[in-house]
Chains A and B, each alone.
Chain A
Amino acid sequence: MKRSNLPDRRGYFGEFGGKYVPETLMAALDEFETAYRGLRRDRAFRSELDDVLRDFVGRPTALTEAKRFAELCGGMRLFLKREDLNHTGAHKINNALGQALIAKRMGKKRIIAETGAGQHGVATATACALLGLGCVVYMGEVDMARQELNVFRMRLLGAEVVPVTSGSRTLKDAINEAIRDWVTNVRTTHYIIGSVLGPHPYPLVVRDFQSVIGREALAQLRKRTGSIPDVAIACVGGGSNAIGLFYEMLKHDSIRFIGVEAGGRGPNLGDHAARFSGGALGVLHGTRSMVLQDEFGQIAETHSISAGLDYPSIGPEHAYLQQIGRVEYYDCSDDLALEAFHKLSECEGIIPALESSHALGWLLRNGASIGSGKIVIVNLSGRGDKDVPQIAALEGR
């Protein structure tokens, strides 16, 4: 399968993607796209980014074989791509630093970002501290309460965290508020979107910055096993860690790809964030994709135990990969994700983020069908430290 020809010039992956924003932002998107196209193959830029990924972020991240957890899943050879070991604790830093470097070259002095779990907010605040840029992070009030630690981290890093009190007070509303800020301050401000979402060119830019995950993983797996994986699995909120793992692997037709969405507490609208089983074609936050909505086109509220998956739309490239049947999407309930969270902690000594626990939960339940000789890679997109207080409260400890 060809990978490099999408999105098309207008930003579409098949019928998904595009640029659906108020007119005020069109110039900024054009400016960003032009800057990015210029820098994409610019040697100085690439080497500046590579240096900072190596010396600051700590790349390449490790590839860890999880033998004891694999036994619980039916006995495949299971490898974890350790994005949790990145500086700031998740894959989000790959994109935040890349975009912050572009912003600096565009002469923007102020950065805004949205955050759900707080990982993208922390990553953006970190990148801004490193590069001397002003930083404002929009975060839903509900998410601020369940991710208190990350709010404090962002403030320590010098960012202003703005509570968002509209709508469901989660990630979707934080994006609304960030867009409203951007409309107002677009001339001085760059908006660092944290996932493969939003209007073109964001899904392209974020994918490019995250594709380092799969590129490294392929090389590491070849070295360790002499082959490519049979199955690649990642959780999907907006979908940046999943695209990051999958993108470089998509050229190998033999690999089976599985994206795991948040099944929440049940199949009713409002109880989950499973866009493929519960959503319909729609436009939210600048992009056409699968969107959880009611029959009148009002965006639905979502639920997930993990703030990072609690979002009603999905990256347009995922919608395309699902439509053409290249990636399979399933969901994993809150309870199953929690079970996997504990199991991985207990038998591998790795506390995973609740987001990543959804990918592990799917494997825990469905691993037996994969076959014991197979090589499976799961993107461990983040570490679970941020989730510990929430889980302690949930489980009454």
Chain B
Amino acid sequence: MNRVRKLFQRLKTEHRCGLIAYITCGDGPTIEIIRALEDAGADAIELGVPFSDPIADGPVIQAAAMRALKNGTKISDIFTIARAVRERSEIPLIAFSYLNPVLRHGIEKFADHAHAAGIDSVLLTDLPAEAAAEVKPAFKAKGLGSIFLLAPTSSDARIAVVDRASDDFIYYVSTMGVTGARSELDPALLTRLDEVRAQVRKPLAVGFGISKHEHFALLQDRCDAIVVGSAIVRAVADGDEIGAATRAGEIVRSIRMI
């Protein structure tokens, strides 16, 4: 059983809502940032692979991807980062990428390298569950979990497809739109979340727009984990490099308030 699945089992026995932290790899001192996020209480890390055309991302993560690419970040750097984390930590690691960089690397080669580096699961933003067969066998052969998204627009039929295709958990997109911190949660989210949760067997993580303790407080009884992305990425970029990891950790602490 991979680390992500174990995490969700543990969260269940502890009756606790987990916090998954997203970072754009190669934007700032990524390895230090991950350590700070873990020290601040993040339960898992999403390793964002920078892409030139991030259609699902808002301005904050777009800018981070551009900086990371300008720094020369390549997909192989994500494996280097994962290996460095694994030298000292068993925190679950989820690779989070658009399809094209993975396709170009080669699906099987990617699975091989990701597994060897200690990555547990993979989420490909622009690969819908219908096309799961294009990657799942290769990922499964290396023990990597595949994670798929659900959105407010997903029909019941699609919810069932995604529930079947997702291995470790389902990533529920909280609102219509791109990634980015928002001051308020989508008013329809809580009701919709209850409806979706009643239809799926897999754990549910909720992301997009979650940036404050109030959001976490509203969501913690309705899902298995929350994902915080843009708020962390913005904190990393918002100041000098030396303080980046500390600022990132503070975001996690402020959201969990523990």
**Residue ranges of A at the interface with B (Cβ–Cβ < 8 Å):** 10, 18-28, 30, 166-167, 172-173, 176, 179-180, 183-187, 280-286, 291, 293, 295-299
Find out whether the CB atom of B56 lies under 8 angstroms from the CB atom of A296.
no
Given contacts A20-B127, A22-B151, contact A183 B104 (CB under 8 A): no
With A19-B131, A283-B103, A297-B101 given, can you name 13 additional A-B contacts, CB distance below 8 Å? A10-B130, A20-B126, A23-B151, A27-B153, A27-B154, A176-B53, A176-B54, A185-B176, A282-B103, A282-B104, A291-B100, A295-B104, A298-B101
A24–B62 contact, CB under 8 A?
A: no
Contacts of B150 in A (CB 8 A): 23
Which residues from A are CB-within-8-Å of B173? 22-24
Which residues of A sit under 8 angstroms from B29, Cβ to Cβ? none
* Complex: A389 Cα to B118 Cα, angstroms: 57
- Annotate B140-180 by CB proximity to A: 1 below 8 A, 0 otherwise: 00000000111111110010001000000000010011100
Q: Are B178 and A172 in contact (CB under 8 A)?
A: no
Taking a contact as CB atoms closer than 8 A, the residue among A27, A166, A296 that contacts B62 in the complex is A166
Bound-state CA distance A194–B125 (Å) is 24
B74 an interface residue at 8 Å Cβ cutoff?
Answer: yes
Closest 10 A/B residue pairs (Cβ): A297-B104, A297-B101, A24-B151, A27-B153, A184-B177, A23-B149, A298-B52, A23-B151, A22-B56, A179-B55
Asked, given contacts A298-B52, A299-B53, whether A26 binds B178 with beta carbons under 8 Å apart, the answer is no
Q: Is the CB of A187 within 8 A of B127?
A: no
If A20-B128, A24-B173 touch, whether A282 touches B55 (CB-CB below 8 Å) is: no
Instruction: Tell me the bound Cα distance from A332 to B150 in angstroms.
Output: 44
| A23–B55 touching, CB < 8 Å | no
Residue B51, interface by CB 8 Å: yes
User: CA of A176 to CA of B61 in the docked complex: distance in angstroms?
Assistant: 14
**A286 (CB) vs chain B CBs: closest residue:** B126
The answer to whether B100 and A26 touch across the interface, beta carbons within 8 angstroms, is: no
Q: Return chain A residues, CB-CB under 8 Å to B162.
A: 23
What is the CB-to-nearest-CB distance from A184 to chain B, in angstroms, rounded to a whole number?
A: 4
Contact yes or no, B176 A297, CB < 8 A = no
Residue B237 interfacial (CB < 8 Å): no
Within 100-147 of B, Cβ neighbours of A (below 8 Å) are at 100-105, 125-131
Please report the C-alpha to C-alpha distance between residue A286 and residue B155 in the assembled complex, in whole angstroms: 20
The answer to whether A22 touches B126, judged by C-beta atoms less than 8 angstroms apart, is: yes
CB-based nearest A residue for B49: A297
A172→B154 contact, CB < 8 A? no
CB atoms of A18 and B125 under 8 A apart: no
**Contact call A186/B101, Cβ cutoff below 8 A:** no
Check A298/B69 contact, CB under 8 A, given A184-B178, A186-B176.
yes
B52 CB to nearest chain A CB (Å):
4
Q: Are B55's CB and A285's CB within 8 A?
A: yes
Contact B177 A172, beta carbon cutoff 8 Å: no
- In the complex the two chains form, is A297's CB within 8 Å of B55's CB? no
**Total residues of chain B contacting the partner, CB 8 A:** 40
Say whether B128 contacts A297, CB under 8 Å.
no
Contacts of A186 in B (CB 8 A): 153, 176
| Interface set of B (CB-CB < 8 Å, partner A) | 51-56, 58, 62, 66, 69, 74-75, 99-105, 125-131, 148-155, 158, 162, 173, 176-178
What is the CB-to-nearest-CB distance from A325 to chain B, in angstroms, rounded to a whole number?
Answer: 24
Which residue of the partner chain A has the closest CB to B97? A297
How many whole Å from B90's CB to the nearest CB in chain A?
Answer: 29
- The smallest beta-carbon distance between B89 and chain A, in angstroms, is 27
Chain A nearest CB: distance from B77 CB in Å? 10
Q: Judge whether B126 and A21 touch: CB under 8 Å.
A: yes
Q: Give Cα A27–Cα B103 distance, bound, in whole angstroms.
A: 25
Given known contacts A27-B158, A180-B55, A297-B104, A20 and B99 CB-to-CB distance under 8 angstroms:
yes
Whether the Cβ atoms of B52 and A299 lie closer than 8 Å is yes
* Contact indicator B177/A183 (Cβ below 8 Å): yes
Report the bound CA distance from A296 to B101 in whole Å: 6
B87: min CB distance to chain A, Å: 25
Q: Which of A25, A173, A282, A283 has the most CB of B within 10 A?
A: A283
Would you give the shortest CB distance from B153 to chain A, in whole angstroms? 4
The residues of B that contact A299 with a CB separation of less than 8 Å are 52-53, 100
Nearest chain A CB to B131's CB is how many angstroms away?
7
Does the CB pair B128–A293 fall under 8 Å? no
Complex contact A26–B105 (CB within 8 A): no
**Could you tell me the distance in whole angstroms from the C-beta of A179 to the nearest C-beta in chain B?**
5
- Which residue of the partner chain, among A19, A180, A281, contacts B178 with CB atoms under 8 Å? A180
Query: What CA separation (Å) do A180 and B208 show in the bound complex?
Result: 14
| Given the contacts A22-B151, A26-B154, A296 and B128 also touching, CB distance less than 8 Å | no
Do A20 and B131 have beta carbons less than 8 Å apart?
yes
Question: Within 8 Å CB of A166, what residues of B?
Answer: 62, 66
Chain B residue at smallest Cβ distance from A301: B52
Residue pair B55, A296 in contact (C-beta under 8 Å): no
Given A183-B56, A297-B103, A299-B52: A26 and B128 interface contact (C-beta under 8 Å): yes
**Of all chain B residues, which has the CB nearest A281?**
B103
In the assembly, what is the distance between CA of A172 and CA of B100, in Å?
15
Chain A residues in 8 Å Cβ range of B125: 22
| Cβ contacts under 8 Å, A293 to chain B | 100, 104
